């Protein structure tokens, strides 16, 4: 069913979702009022189609990085070695993190200007007239405000996941990107992991047949980190878990599957249902800690997000996707990554990754290895070894960063646009609504304004800089 943006928000009651969480972060800017998009026949009319759009080619890519915490601090060593990148400015609320960032760049040609010490120092960075890209690694409630401000100030916006903390922000990102014709890319690094790319190629070459079903997840025990006093600045991640519900982080599992299914590029997410367990871990842990440490008193005696969230999405073309989220249970890390087609099946976790073409069982390891080699994109053949060396989650972070820099320098469309970012993010936001309604079905809006019918699938073919 198609909905106008306004009808959709009214119907789901999600317009203000996440605002409470945002206000918990002292100084987080209030989201701007959402603009009402024009509609035609009940479908949002696009200002301009960003899918397939190529911004004017850049000789050098001048980058400003905001948020030099765990993730932003890890991005600097990658960005500093990618040809064509100039790190011109860095910003963090905490001066010591900026100093740490400078240390990571010491001895290189990158001598960025620094911004720090106040909540909105990032605005000064974004307003500079010598930057092309804002690379945003701040806590979730700042993702959309910084990205929107960056695009309004003429920069391409690259943001850590998720794209937004409520649906209103999702629509604002779409409208700002279309109006300003600035790229918005959510930095979904898992789309660039080695086996995920192999399965994308397998699907695109028809090895798996028609894709019927996919499964993805974020199963990562973060209890120690979320309850650590200094790991996440200002305990932002625990606050998110204490004030929200549903799947907070669907993108890692969903993104690669959505690309394989051509979501927003021939298919699109139609509706979802979500079930969620109770919280058996975070509340008791907060109470236990607060009993001896007053630091945890504000976190005690409250209801936390349920531990296991399971969402099933159906696409307009009739495929299904299961997405899970569990950041509290003592279990090995997994994003599942199962792809099921009419001719075969592939699954990454539990490792080692496997492939099957029938019910007899998984193919022998040697055959799987051969298939992996056969379906490795040229892009990975070219930069895979460097990626593994430079690192970042085993190399996928480097492949992602190298790729978008390369595309901007060639004046080519990006692999992911704003529609992908908000569609994947919205599954989490809408799971909250489904859970609140005894797992009732919830429509996923068409952020593309109907252009999903003609948009081309992601094309990972390597195009060299001329």
Ligand X SMILES: NC(=O)c1ccc[n+]([C@@H]2O[C@H](COP(=O)([O-])OP(=O)(O)OC[C@H]3O[C@@H](n4cnc5c(N)ncnc54)[C@H](O)[C@@H]3O)[C@@H](O)[C@H]2O)c1
Q: Tell me which residues in 230-249 interact with ligand X (CB under 6 A).
A: 232-233
Q: Judging by DSSP bridges, how do beta strands 156-159 and 85-92 pair with one another?
A: unpaired
Q: What is d(CA 224, CA 237) in angstroms, rounded to the nearest whole number?
A: 12
Q: Which region among 67-75, 255-263, 284-292, 420-428 touches ligand X (by CB under 6 A)? A: 67-75
Q: Tell me which residues in 188-227 interact with ligand X (CB under 6 A).
A: 189
> Least distance from C-beta 153 to ligand X, angstroms?
16
Report the residue from 9, 61, 92, 311 that binds ligand X according to the rule CB under 6 A. 92
> Least distance from C-beta 388 to ligand X, angstroms?
16
Task: Identify each DSSP E strand in 93-191 by its residue range.
Answer: 113-116, 133-136, 156-159, 184-186
DSSP string, 174-212: HHHHHHHT--EEE--GGGGSHHHHHHHHHHHTTTT-SEE
Under a CB-based contact definition with an 8 Å cutoff, are residues 161 and 251 in contact? yes
Which DSSP helix (H) or strand (E) runs through 217? strand 211-219
* 223 backbone dihedrals φ, ψ, rounded to 5°: -55, -50
In the bound state with ligand X, the residue whose beta carbon lies nearer, of 5 and 220, is 220
In the bound state with ligand X, the residue whose beta carbon lies nearer, of 4 and 431, is 431
Q: What is d(CA 167, CA 150) in angstroms, rounded to the nearest whole number?
A: 19
Under a CB-based contact definition with an 8 Å cutoff, are residues 414 and 183 in contact? yes
Q: What is d(CA 62, CA 134) in angstroms, rounded to the nearest whole number?
A: 9
Report the residue from 3, 12, 46, 138 that binds ligand X according to the rule CB under 6 A. 138
Q: Could you say which DSSP state residue 267 is in?
A: B
Q: Which region among 63-71, 213-221, 404-412, 427-435 touches ligand X (by CB under 6 A)? A: 63-71
Q: Tell me which residues in 71-90 interact with ligand X (CB under 6 A).
A: 71-72
Q: Tell me which residues in 146-165 interact with ligand X (CB under 6 A).
A: 160-161
In the bound state with ligand X, the residue whose beta carbon lies nearer, of 190 and 423, is 190
Q: What is d(CA 199, CA 348) in angstroms, rounded to the nearest whole number?
A: 9
**Nearest residue (beta carbon) to ligand X:** 69
Cβ-based neighbour number of residue 216 at 10 Å: 28
315 beta partners: 269
Q: Tell me which residues in 349-378 interact with ligand X (CB under 6 A).
A: none
- Distance separating the N- and C-terminal Cα atoms of the chain: 44
Task: Identify each DSSP E strand in 13-52 by its residue range.
Answer: 39-40, 43-44
Q: Which region among 68-76, 334-342, 353-361, 458-466 touches ligand X (by CB under 6 A)? A: 68-76
Q: Which residue in this structure is represented by tokens 């609504």?
A: 433
Q: Does 93 participate in binding ligand X (rule CB under 6 A)?
A: yes
Report residue 74 as tokens: 């890890």
> Least distance from C-beta 8 to ligand X, angstroms?
25
In the bound state with ligand X, the residue whose beta carbon lies nearer, of 92 and 196, is 92
* 310 backbone dihedrals φ, ψ, rounded to 5°: -125, 120
In terms of Cα–Cα distance, which of 146, 168, 335, 165 is closest to 236?
Answer: 165
Report the residue from 17, 67, 214, 395 that binds ligand X according to the rule CB under 6 A. 67
Report the residue from 94, 128, 314, 388 that binds ligand X according to the rule CB under 6 A. 94
In the bound state with ligand X, the residue whose beta carbon lies nearer, of 25 and 345, is 25
Q: Could you say which DSSP state residue 215 is in?
A: E
Q: Which region among 60-68, 291-299, 414-422, 453-461 touches ligand X (by CB under 6 A)? A: 60-68
In the bound state with ligand X, the residue whose beta carbon lies nearer, of 17 and 67, is 67
Binding-site string for ligand X from residue 96 to residue 135, where x marks contact by CB under 6 A and - marks none: -x---------------------x--x-------------
Task: Identify each DSSP E strand in 93-202 by its residue range.
Answer: 113-116, 133-136, 156-159, 184-186
Report the residue from 87, 89, 91, 185 that binds ligand X according to the rule CB under 6 A. 91
Helices in 209-277 by DSSP H: which ranges? 223-227, 236-243, 251-260
> Least distance from C-beta 27 to ligand X, angstroms?
6
In the bound state with ligand X, the residue whose beta carbon lies nearer, of 305 and 354, is 305
Which DSSP helix (H) or strand (E) runs through 354? strand 354-356
Q: Does 253 participate in binding ligand X (rule CB under 6 A)?
A: no
> Least distance from C-beta 31 to ligand X, angstroms?
14
Q: What is d(CA 300, CA 284) in angstroms, rounded to the nearest whole number?
A: 8
Report the residue from 9, 21, 65, 68 that binds ligand X according to the rule CB under 6 A. 68
Question: How many residues form the binding site for ligand X (CB under 6 A)?
Answer: 26
Q: Does 66 participate in binding ligand X (rule CB under 6 A)?
A: yes
Using CB under 6 A, list all residues that contact ligand X: 66-72, 91-94, 97, 119, 122, 137-140, 142, 160-161, 187, 189, 232-233, 393
């Amino acid at each position: 069913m198609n909905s106008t943006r306004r009808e959709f928000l009214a119907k789901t009651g999600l317009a203000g979702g996440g605002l409470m969480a945002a206000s918990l972060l002292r100084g987080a800017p209030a989201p701007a009022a959402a603009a009402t998009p024009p509609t035609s026949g009940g479908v949002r009319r696009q200002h301009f189609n960003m899918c397939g759009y190529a911004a004017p080619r850049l000789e050098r890519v001048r980058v400003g990085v905001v948020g030099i915490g765990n993730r932003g601090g890890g991005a600097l060593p990658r960005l500093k070695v990618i040809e064509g990148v100039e790190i011109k400015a860095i910003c963090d609320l905490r001066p010591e993190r900026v100093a740490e960032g400078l240390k990571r760049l010491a001895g290189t040609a990158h001598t960025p200007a620094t911004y720090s010490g106040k909540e909105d120092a990032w605005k000064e960075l974004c307003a500079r007239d010598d930057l092309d890209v804002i690379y945003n690694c701040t806590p979730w409630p700042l993702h959309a405000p910084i990205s929107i401000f960056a695009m309004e100030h003429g920069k391409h916006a690259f943001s850590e996941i998720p794209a937004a903390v409520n649906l209103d922000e999702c629509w604002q990102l779409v409208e700002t990107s279309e109006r300003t014709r600035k790229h918005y890319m959510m930095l979904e690094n898992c789309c660039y992991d080695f086996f995920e790319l192999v399965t994308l190629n397998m699907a695109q070459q028809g090895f798996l047949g028609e894709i019927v079903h996919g499964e993805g997840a974020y199963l990562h025990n973060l209890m120690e980190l979320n309850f650590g006093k200094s790991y996440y600045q200002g305990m932002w991640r625990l606050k998110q878990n204490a004030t929200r519900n549903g799947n907070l982080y669907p993108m890692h599992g969903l993104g690669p599957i959505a690309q394989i299914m051509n979501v927003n590029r021939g298919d699109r997410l139609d509706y979802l249902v979500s079930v969620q367990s109770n919280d058996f871990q975070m509340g008791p842990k907060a109470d236990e800690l607060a009993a001896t440490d007053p630091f945890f008193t504000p976190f005690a005696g409250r209801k936390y997000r349920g531990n296991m969230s399971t969402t099933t999405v159906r696409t307009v073309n009739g495929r299904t996707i299961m997405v899970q989220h569990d950041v509290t249970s003592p279990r090995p890390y997994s994003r599942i990554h199962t792809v099921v087609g009419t001719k075969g099946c592939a699954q990454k976790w539990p490792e080692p990754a496997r492939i099957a073409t029938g019910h007899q069982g998984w193919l022998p390891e040697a055959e799987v290895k051969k298939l992996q080699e056969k379906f490795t994109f040229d892009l990975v053949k070219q930069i895979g070894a460097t990626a593994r060396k430079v690192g970042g989650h085993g190399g996928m972070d480097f492949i992602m960063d190298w790729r978008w820099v390369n595309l901007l320098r060639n004046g080519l469309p990006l692999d992911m646009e704003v529609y992908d970012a908000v569609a994947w993010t919205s599954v989490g936001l809408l799971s909250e609504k489904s859970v609140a309604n005894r797992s009732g079905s919830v429509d996923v809006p068409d952020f593309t304004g109907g252009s999903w019918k003609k948009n081309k699938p992601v094309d990972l073919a390597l195009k060299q800089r001329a």
